[in-house]
Structure 1
């Protein structure tokens, strides 16, 4: 990949933040470049760096305006963008296994979604669970992972009328993405199952279980294992 491809457009978010736009689309290769750039910046960790927030095609960089001026930060970031981005595919990533109980009370939309896709519920579970997922970004709610890597054949539109209540841990499809609701709340994605894991806990040293760039493997479980893991998570 050439340096020209790695150049970002800069947008001032505030007096203490730059938004680096690497593109305008949802694309796995583009998202990998975002995470590679974030990793390169994080590895150098300049004293003025306060936070990095990656999205699908952009990276927000927050800095301390009392210790450095915005143009100095922009010049430094430009040099990082101009470096070769060949390390994008080699960026280290954790692999996190997420157990999921599919269907029934755990996934009330499973049967209808399978019928809409021309699959049996068992086939949908198998194909959904076989996905090679990556956390493209965290958003919508604290700890909510947007997972890229969904089989394109499993793309489903959001519900015409969103639910007013979605249970914490619900695993869902929204368009061409999979997501996991970290806490109860409204939502319009198709609910296929639920994980007993606690995706966000403000009391933990690292509140969000999943981080941008992580790889995710889904593992189908039954109701008994869901119950046992739920009890473990509550301890």
Structure 2
């Protein structure tokens, strides 16, 4: 990128785990260059607690761990970065150019005629305007690294669909507002689809997953249906040339609805991928700690349905999350503490209630594939391990049956405070960066009761109830949205974005659910009642730190007990004086 004038910026809190940095110069190019240079600087500076910097057209969403770094400290770090930009030269890398063949209208572009009618021109004119422009990729957005660009020179901005599609095909070429985009993967969408490219854009075996980056150039070229069929499946390419050994296995006997996941793909948002990962982060962290693992090791997430697996070797497990009936070899066992499983025994989790998700961690963790360093499934790009009957999972370490060394009593009573669960949920939120757009009606969020819809999933929770309304109807420029964003995308439902959310969106963010509140919503079942409670970023950060502190205390206890029993090391209890064992 060239040397630039640093645009003035505003920094807004966006929940307790994110900042939105907005460039506010009248020079649009300066805004774009500033936010992308800032994102590049943040990604390479090595700041403790920084998860991701997601640049868009005129803003950067800075996501961080509030336990490791406060919002104030991250704000100061962002300001430091802005100062550094003014003293460093821009990148000398030339943009690459991509030629994108597109078949317009008909089944390829079902909204072409609608867009033409709205603009008051012919479909041929829409195609001409769309293909005559040279596009600069402004950012990578949802889904899955979509190249987001300034739109063609249509007479008027294109309104989004009133009823978004549940499925837009990969390769769809769409417009909305003054923006244009290509969909790399199948996903829901509310943009107007005017055509489709036959080229394959996304490859989850490649890093980065898409061949382009912000600043690269795209040109669209019209093709016939016959040409489309001939090119189908070819890759989009630039025009320029030039640990531990496996020692065990578990066999899934009844999968229910289960996946292997971890805490999330924190490097994904920069490339337009959602962070995903375990929806109830507290329960997932606790399970791994109780199993003697690092917080972010792969584990099993089970949603709603019964699950059963069989151990081929001796293993040690921990089960957390929603209440359920846990049995090992037919005998009842406790959740929220380590449990020994002998070779040949089956582990059953049945009757999940008062919550929706449970987590199974196995000492030593699991051998699974990763994408951008994470095992978290991504349904949009087709990555991840959905467990099936007969799936065999390789474990990294076998652990013999653990009993109390002198009296053969049950060993583990670690006293972790379990999160409260039920059907009436209180969820803390902070003001969103766009709260002013809702005026007085924004208070309805706190005075109303909402019901969880059965259409909720890992992408977001849909809630029925009395809805706040925007005071304006203008199109919103797509910007980075934090996990937990509360939006009102339709007249029927409130939407709370969760960990599978697209990293960019064009709806105002009324509020942002706190990090601890997201864990509460992860356990919300269809029909549960939700009330929102306003809090401050400072209070939300303090609550998150208290929660993490409890887990650190648990880790110390587990490390002490495991060390004494020789789990992963020589048994240290043998070194205790006799009096200590009396």
Residue 91 of structure 1 deviates from its aligned partner by: 7.0
Q: Which has the higher contact order (CA 8 A, sep 6+)?
A: 1
Q: 2:83 aligns with which of 65, 79, 82?
A: 79
Residue 95 of structure 1 deviates from its aligned partner by: 2.0
Q: Check whether the contact 1:198–1:209 (CA below 8 A) recurs between aligned residues.
A: no
- 2:32 maps to 31
- 1:169 maps to 171
- 2:98 maps to 96
Q: 2:159 aligns with which of 144, 148, 157?
A: 157
- 2:231 maps to 229
- 1:8 maps to 9
The two structures have a TM-score, normalised by structure 1, of 0.76
Q: 1:142 aligns with which of 144, 156, 164?
A: 144
Residue 187 of structure 1 deviates from its aligned partner by: 1.6
- 1:188 maps to 190
Residue 157 of structure 1 deviates from its aligned partner by: 1.0
Residue 9 of structure 1 deviates from its aligned partner by: 3.5
- The Cα offsets for residues 148-184 of structure 1, whole Å up to 9 and x where unpaired, read as 1421425211122222221111111111111112222
Does 2:12 match 1:21? no
- The Cα offsets for residues 52-83 of structure 1, whole Å up to 9 and x where unpaired, read as 421121224568969xx858844641422444
Q: Check whether the contact 1:163–1:186 (CA below 8 A) recurs between aligned residues.
A: yes
Does 2:58 match 1:54? no
Q: 1:130 aligns with which of 129, 132, 138?
A: 132
Q: Check whether the contact 1:25–1:56 (CA below 8 A) recurs between aligned residues.
A: no
Choose 48-57 or 209-218, whichever is displaced more: 48-57
Within 1, Cα distance between the matches of 2:33 and 2:59?
11
Q: Check whether the contact 1:164–1:187 (CA below 8 A) recurs between aligned residues.
A: yes
Distance 1:161 1:14, change over 3 A: closer
Q: Check whether the contact 1:23–1:58 (CA below 8 A) recurs between aligned residues.
A: no
Choose 171-180 or 152-161, whichever is displaced more: 152-161
Residue 46 of structure 1 deviates from its aligned partner by: 3.8
- 1:206 maps to 208
Tell me how many residue pairs correspond in the alignment: 226
Distance 1:91 1:46, change over 3 A: same
The answer for unaligned runs of 5 or more in structure 1 is: none
Within 1, Cα distance between the matches of 2:142 and 2:218?
19
Q: Check whether the contact 1:52–1:61 (CA below 8 A) recurs between aligned residues.
A: yes
The structure carrying a bigger helix percent of its residues is 1
Choose 184-193 or 153-162, whichever is displaced more: 153-162
Which structure: larger Rg? Answer: 2
Q: 1:114 aligns with which of 98, 113, 116?
A: 116
Choose 9-18 or 49-58, whichever is displaced more: 9-18
Within 1, Cα distance between the matches of 2:118 and 2:62?
41
Within 1, Cα distance between the matches of 2:27 and 2:142?
16
Within 2, Cα distance between the matches of 1:156 and 1:74?
34
Within 2, Cα distance between the matches of 1:30 and 1:155?
21
Within 2, Cα distance between the matches of 1:124 and 1:94?
26
Q: Check whether the contact 1:143–1:210 (CA below 8 A) recurs between aligned residues.
A: no
Distance 1:227 1:193, change over 3 A: same
Distance 1:232 1:133, change over 3 A: closer
- 2:369 maps to none
Residue 45 of structure 1 deviates from its aligned partner by: 3.8
Residue 112 of structure 1 deviates from its aligned partner by: 2.6
Within 1, Cα distance between the matches of 2:52 and 2:204?
18
Within 1, Cα distance between the matches of 2:114 and 2:161?
11
**3-state SS of the aligned residue for 2:215?**
coil
Q: Check whether the contact 1:150–1:176 (CA below 8 A) recurs between aligned residues.
A: yes
Within 2, Cα distance between the matches of 1:26 and 1:182?
30
**3-state SS of the aligned residue for 1:232?**
coil
Distance 1:15 1:156, change over 3 A: closer
